[in-house]
Amino acid sequence: MTVGILCTALLGLLLFGLGLYISILRQRAHRLIGHDSDPTDTLHRAVRAHGNTAEYAPFLGLLFLWFAAHPAPGWVSVLIVIATIARFLLAAGLLWGSSLDKSNAARFLGALLTYTCGLALVIRLAVA
């Protein structure tokens, strides 16, 4: 199994794991739709973590699978691993930070690494 395939599977685990977590929270709260607007609300935080993951994980997964199927320099595999870690960091920052309306190190680093690794992988794809 290549790094790209493993990291794509991890992004899928994150996406579907967060979806399951939201379903569990909704069942416990007897709430089929929506969430409180309170930025400290657990369901609100989980919905944002899932939504943010759903925005980035699919395209990152496509990039990872492309590079898994086509030879690339070793630094590409390093970026794939860092981007995967970044997605987990960002989700952790959204779920476990003090509030959604306050930044924290995990969110900041997760977002920064997602952008930089994603852009670098897209540029590598364009010039390959």
**In tens digits, what is the pLDDT along the chain, a chain of 128 residues?**
799 999 999 999 999 999 999 999 999 988 988 887 889 999 999 999 999 999 999 999 999 999 999 989 999 999 999 999 999 999 999 999 999 999 999 999 999 999 999 999 999 999 98
- Enumerate the domain spans of the chain: 3-127
Whether 99 contacts 39, CB under 8 Å: yes
Q: How far is CA 56 from its chain centroid?
A: 6
pTM confidence score:
0.95
**How many residues does the structure list for the chain?**
128
Nearest Cα neighbor of 48 from 114, 97, 82 is 97
Its CATH class, for the domain covering 3-127, is mainly alpha
